[in-house]
């Protein structure tokens, strides 16, 4: 009999009110049932939001340094349980252990980083234009925040959102992806053990069409932070716009790595491998386009194919495995469909291109690491987010053409260029249309103390992580103190 898990609402573990559950299965082995998790609905959302609303009245008054101390305890507990959570995460979403350990570490890093911000939620003081008058700005909490997160980083992304929200004095309701509910349960067990007061953090498991929609439309939710596809992001933005609700969106990417003729090819090959096939290509920052200078294309592809041939595919719990499964059958079907799309458009599969079901992989959702050659910039495989281990190769004659191709999509999240020319590097930093640019590094590997997000269809301009995240989860208040003892009129013509 599989274990049945619960929601966490108002400091209590509760089943879904309707009594329904969702199966959570290991994508590396469909026969492995990880557990049964709540299929929540509007009633569960209403209860969670009411708890968060009630808790906000007292949580907002807890001094920010004290909130930071609590988050520091959360970070210490995450350190203690890092290996346990990493193994749970690999089992429920498939990526290899070294990556799930890194996912948990991002949560740890975020906890410690945000804990320090409890003493640095700076406002500004500024001179007033009038005598005997003091002027300053301070941050204030927003209220109840709904956090809707994806399955590919089931610890990093929830903590990126939750910890900054909490340090600012907000309360939260988290709806994690239905593919990764167990990692969220472990996070909330730790939050409970750390002493987070009832109602301050709430977990509602379930499907997006029930729980996600209910949260986005709930009148007592003041802010929605969503990470996912651009298609769903538009729907979230439209719904929030109807009620003038604050919304932060981190959406898709079609990221590219440029390799110039003067690059360190060995380094660039390793960067392309890690960027394209880390997390089986299931990252919003994954390298999905490889833009190669004509002079080095043949040599580079030969090296890359030789390296791919050595990659070990399998269950991520095996320490020797480099690539795990895709998240589910629908994801594998989508990747497979793009193989046919690419072939029809004239692309050529150099390596891979098929589901991988050999031996122990027969019961999982595995797909071969794939290179598509002869890709042109306007092909669908060069424009649309595939979200799998597929790398489209585009040949260019020079630097200017490379930059034009890189910028030629509706997304703008991450980017990379390999070159030994410092002048080119600085031009790339200036001219690339992306929220993130790497010089001589792959497109993946964000650090929690720098802003994360992108331009164009990658989001609505907000940035998670770094110090910019506090502009999402706090309101600015301007304060004026007039100690002149007389009426002073501002915003009129005082000039003599």
pLDDT of residue 493: 65
Q: Which of 464, 449, 451, 479 is nearest to 123 (CA)?
A: 479
Rounded Cα–Cα distance for residues 223 and 122 (Å): 21
Mark whether 345 is an active-site residue: no
End-to-end Cα distance, the chain: 84
Query: If pLDDT is split at 50, 70 and 90, which confidence band does 1 have?
Result: low
Pick the catalytic residue from 145, 168, 284, 361: 284
Q: What is the CATH number of domain 255-439?
A: 3.40.309.10
Burial 164-199 (b: 16+ CB within 10 A, else e): bbbbbbbbbbbbbbbbbbbbbbbbbbbbbebebeeb
pLDDT digits (tens, 9 = 90+) for 427-446: 999 999 999 999 999 999 99
Rounded Cα–Cα distance for residues 314 and 154 (Å): 20
Instruction: Calculate the dihedral angle through the C-alpha atoms of 426, 431, 432, 435, rounding to the nearest 10 degrees.
Output: 90
135 touches 488 (CB < 8 A): no
Query: If pLDDT is split at 50, 70 and 90, which confidence band does 492 have?
Result: confident
User: Strand 436-439 and strand 414-418: pairing?
Assistant: parallel
Rounded Cα–Cα distance for residues 43 and 373 (Å): 51
Query: If pLDDT is split at 50, 70 and 90, which confidence band does 496 have?
Result: low
What's the chain's Rg over C-alpha atoms? 24
Query: If pLDDT is split at 50, 70 and 90, which confidence band does 263 have?
Result: very high
The DSSP 8-state label assigned to residue 163 in this structure reads H
pLDDT digits (tens, 9 = 90+) for 215-245: 999 999 999 999 999 999 999 999 999 999 9
Q: Which of 119, 115, 111, 113 is nearest to 75 (CA)?
A: 111
The residue length of the chain stands at 496
Q: Write down the mean pLDDT value for the chain.
A: 97
Distance of alpha carbon 2 from its chain centroid, rounded?
A: 30
Pick the catalytic residue from 250, 322, 385, 464: 250
Query: If pLDDT is split at 50, 70 and 90, which confidence band does 490 have?
Result: confident
pLDDT digits (tens, 9 = 90+) for 139-149: 999 999 999 99
117: Cβ contacts below 8 Å, ≥ 6 apart:
64, 68, 164, 167, 467, 470
Handedness of CA 48, 49, 53, 56 (dihedral sign): positive
pLDDT digits (tens, 9 = 90+) for 177-213: 999 999 999 999 999 999 999 999 999 999 999 999 9
pLDDT digits (tens, 9 = 90+) for 461-486: 999 999 999 999 999 999 999 999 99
136: helix, strand or coil: strand
Three-point CA angle 121, 475, 212, nearest 5°: 110
Mark whether 250 is an active-site residue: yes
Three-point CA angle 324, 330, 335, nearest 5°: 65
Question: Cα separations (Å) of 443 from 235, 268, 277?
Answer: 28, 11, 11
**Domain segments of the chain as ranges:** 7-251+459-479, 255-439
Instruction: Give the whole-number percent of the chain exceeding pLDDT 90.
Output: 98
| Phi-psi category of residue 35: left, alpha or beta, with phi > 0 → left and psi -120 to 50 → alpha | left
* Fold (CATH) for 7-251+459-479: Aldehyde Dehydrogenase; Chain A, domain 1 (3.40.605)
pLDDT of residue 287: 98
Query: E strand or H helix at 137, and its extent?
Result: strand 133-141
- Which structure tokens are listed for 36? 């049964």
314: helix, strand or coil: coil
pLDDT digits (tens, 9 = 90+) for 343-381: 999 999 999 999 999 999 999 999 999 999 999 999 999
């Amino acid at each position: 009999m599989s274990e049945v898990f619960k929601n966490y609402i108002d400091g209590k573990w509760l089943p879904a009110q309707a009594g329904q559950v969702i199966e959570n299965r290991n994508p590396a082995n469909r026969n492995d049932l990880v557990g049964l998790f709540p299929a929540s609905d509007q009633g569960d959302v209403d209860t969670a939001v009411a708890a968060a609303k009630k808790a906000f009245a007292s949580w907002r008054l807890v001094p920010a340094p004290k909130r930071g101390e609590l988050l520091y305890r959360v970070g210490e507990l995450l350190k203690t349980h890092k290996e346990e959570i990493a193994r749970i995460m690999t089992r429920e979403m498939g990526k290899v252990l070294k990556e799930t350990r890194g996912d948990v570490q991002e949560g740890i890093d975020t906890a410690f980083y945000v804990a320090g911000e409890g003493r640095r939620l700076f406002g500004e003081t500024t001179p007033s234009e009038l005598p005997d008058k003091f002027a300053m700005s301070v941050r204030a909490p927003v209220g109840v925040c709904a956090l809707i997160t994806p399955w590919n980083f089931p610890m990093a992304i929830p903590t990126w959102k939750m910890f900054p929200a909490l340090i600012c004095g907000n309360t939260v309701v988290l709806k994690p992806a239905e593919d990764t509910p167990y990692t969220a349960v472990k996070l909330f067990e730790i939050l409970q053990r750390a002493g987070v007061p009832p109602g301050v953090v709430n977990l509602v498991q379930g499907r997006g069409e029930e729980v996600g929609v209910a949260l986005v439309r709930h009148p007592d939710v003041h802010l929605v932070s969503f990470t996912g596809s651009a298609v769903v992001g538009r729907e979230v933005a439209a719904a929030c716009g109807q009620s003038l609700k604050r919304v932060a969106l981190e959406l898709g990417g079609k990221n590219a790595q440029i390799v110039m003729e003067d690059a360190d090819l060995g380094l660039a090959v390793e960067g392309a491998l890690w960027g394209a096939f880390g997390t089986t290509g299931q990252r919003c920052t994954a390298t999905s386009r490889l833009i190669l200078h004509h002079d080095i294309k043949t040599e580079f592809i030969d090296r890359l194919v030789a390296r791919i041939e050595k990659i070990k595919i399998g269950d991520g719990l095996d320490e020797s495995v480099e690539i795990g499964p895709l998240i589910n059958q629908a994801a594998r079907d989508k990747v497979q469909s793009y193989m046919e799309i690419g072939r029809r458009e004239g692309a050529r599969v150099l390596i891979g291109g098929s589901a991988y079901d050999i031996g122990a992989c027969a019961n999982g959702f595995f797909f071969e690491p794939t290179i598509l050659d002869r890709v042109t910039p306007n092909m669908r495989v060069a424009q649309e987010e595939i979200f799998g281990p597929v790398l489209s190769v585009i040949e260019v004659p020079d630097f200017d053409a490379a930059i034009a191709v890189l910028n030629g999509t509706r997304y703008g999240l991450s980017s990379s260029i390999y070159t030994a020319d410092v002048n080119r590097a600085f031009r790339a930093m200036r001219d690339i249309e992306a929220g993130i640019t790497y010089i001589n590094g792959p497109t993946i590997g964000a650090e929690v103390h720098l802003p994360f997000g992108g331009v164009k269809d990658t989001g609505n301009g907000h940035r998670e992580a770094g110090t910019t995240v506090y502009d999402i989860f706090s309101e600015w208040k301007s304060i004026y103190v007039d100690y002149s003892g007389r009426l002073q009129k501002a915003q009129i013509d005082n000039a003599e």
